[in-house]
């Protein structure tokens, strides 16, 4: 009886003790949960801050510009001199003097070489002697003719003798003219013994040395002279462009032609279109055009291969973007525009003509906007970007104009 009462008296204390244990466990769980979720939140915030602090995609950008834009028609061409001549002797004889230097620029009428003139001087002297003799005979026959005319009037000589004397005078007159022709020919041969430049130009390599006997029939001649200023370029364009070119020429337009080197990197000279050939080559479907260049500094050389570009039109105040900035996708052509918050915006554009690494933009861009020209393959619409200079350094963002 006593033990049962003691057991009943201890039961409330045991229950209280259990509640304290439960409360302690709950507190421990709450504290653990607090630290767990607080740490997770801190990690999330740190991850978010780290993500926001990560650098954007490195790109190279360039501003959209407005400028005059040349529209070209390009073709392959060759430099052709206006005049080229092989200098030859016109008389036979010994080449006594060569007065030019190979590669020299010579002027029209400049003395280039001399042929031994002595044989022609001898011919001239002989012709002058024959002329003096025949002139004396002519003068004497004329005096005799005057006497015969007087004697015929007095019936002292027959008419036949007078007629004979008249024809003798005519004979001597013919001889004098022949002698004069021989003199002129000798003087001409003497002139030909001095070889001069027919026009101004550049003389080539010497073909014959002094001391050789040269002939008018020699094939090689003494040297070749090529006119350098002005000079022409003959180039070909597709026949589809012919109507456009002829339309410009018909209204009197002076079309400029630019000559570039083989790699199309260096501009050599600028000239003017002269004319278009009168027929189309049926085997290639092209037509030849001829342009003239002043060539003041001898930039162009005969038979040089060039790339000729005919400026057919000039678009004034065109919006221009680098061609490498143009991207193509299923929706068409577009560019990435760098916005003020350093993010990339995908912008559809409408293209015009492309020339020299630039493309005219008819719609979609404004002057001054910054567009990505390198690194666009790593971008998406809204991507964070970091604009770098062409050499890899950071580039300050340019002000965008609207």
Q: Could you report the per-residue pLDDT of 374-400, keeping only the tens digit for each?
A: 988 888 888 888 887 654 445 544 444
Q: Which of 57-71, 256-270, 291-305, 386-400 has the lowest mean pLDDT?
A: 386-400
Confidence at residue 171, expressed as pLDDT on a 0 to 100 scale: 95
Give the residue with greater pLDDT, 318 vs 26: 318
Domain spans of the chain? Answer: 57-69+317-388, 72-82+226-314, 92-224
Copy the structure tokens of residue 259. Answer: 């000559």
Q: Using DSSP, state whether 388 is helix, strand or coil.
A: strand
Model-wide pTM > 0.75: no
Task: Estimate the share of the chain in helix, then strand, then coil, as percent rounded to the nearest 5.
Answer: 35, 35, 30
Match domain 57-69+317-388 to its CATH number in 2.40.420.20, 3.10.620.30, 3.40.1190.20, 3.10.129.10: 2.40.420.20
Report how far residue 290's alpha carbon sits from residue 257's, in angstroms, rounded to the nearest whole number: 10
Confidence at residue 133, expressed as pLDDT on a 0 to 100 scale: 96
Domain 72-82+226-314 has CATH 1.10.10.10: no
Report how far residue 118's alpha carbon sits from residue 125's, in angstroms, rounded to the nearest whole number: 11
User: What CATH class has 92-224?
Assistant: mainly beta
Handedness of CA 262, 265, 266, 271 (dihedral sign): positive
Q: In this structure, what are the phi and psi dihedrals at residue 298, rounded to the nearest 5 degrees?
A: 55, 45
Is 226:81 a contact under the CB 8 Å cutoff? yes
- Whether 72-82+226-314 shares its CATH topology with 92-224 is answered no
Report how far residue 291's alpha carbon sits from residue 306's, in angstroms, rounded to the nearest whole number: 12
């Amino acid at each position: 009886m006593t033990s049962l009462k003691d057991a009943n008296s201890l039961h409330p204390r045991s229950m209280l003790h259990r509640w304290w244990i439960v409360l302690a466990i709950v507190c421990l769980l709450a504290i653990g949960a607090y630290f767990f979720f607080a740490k997770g939140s801190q990690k999330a915030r740190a991850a978010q801050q780290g993500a926001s602090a990560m650098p954007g995609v490195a790109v190279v950008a360039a501003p959209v510009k407005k400028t005059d834009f040349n529209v070209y028609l390009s073709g392959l061409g060759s430099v052709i001199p206006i005049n080229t001549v092989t200098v030859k002797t016109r008389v036979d004889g010994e080449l006594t003097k060569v007065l030019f230097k190979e590669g020299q620029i010579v002027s029209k009428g400049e003395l280039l070489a001399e042929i031994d003139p002595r044989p022609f001087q001898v011919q001239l002297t002989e012709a002058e002697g024959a002329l003096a003799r025949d002139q004396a005979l002519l003068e004497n026959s004329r005096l005799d003719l005057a006497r015969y005319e007087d004697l015929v009037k007095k019936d002292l000589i027959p008419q036949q003798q007078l007629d004979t004397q008249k024809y003798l005078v005519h004979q001597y007159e013919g001889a004098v003219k022949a002698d004069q022709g021989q003199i002129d020919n000798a003087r001409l041969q003497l002139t030909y013994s001095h070889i001069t430049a027919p026009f101004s130009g550049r003389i080539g390599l010497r073909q014959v040395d002094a001391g050789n006997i040269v002939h008018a029939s020699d094939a090689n001649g003494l040297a070749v002279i090529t006119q350098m200023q002005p000079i022409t370029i003959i180039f070909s364009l597709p026949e589809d462009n012919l109507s456009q070119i002829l339309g410009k020429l018909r209204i009197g337009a002076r079309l400029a032609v630019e000559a570039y080197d083989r790699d199309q990197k260096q501009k050599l000279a600028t000239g003017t279109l002269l004319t278009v050939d009168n027929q189309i080559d049926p085997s290639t479907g092209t037509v030849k055009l001829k342009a003239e260049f002043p060539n003041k500094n001898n930039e162009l050389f005969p038979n040089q291969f060039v790339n000729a570009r005919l400026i057919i039109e000039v678009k004034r105040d065109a919006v221009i973007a680098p061609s490498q900035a143009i991207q193509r996708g299923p929706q068409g052509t577009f560019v990435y525009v760098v916005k003020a918050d350093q993010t990339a915006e995908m912008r559809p554009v409408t293209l015009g003509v492309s020339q020299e690494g630039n493309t005219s933009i008819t719609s979609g861009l404004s002057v001054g906007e910054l567009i990505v020209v390198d690194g666009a393959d790593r971008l998406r619409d809204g991507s964070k970007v970091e604009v770098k200079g062409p050499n890899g350094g950071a580039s300050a963002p340019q002000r965008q104009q609207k």
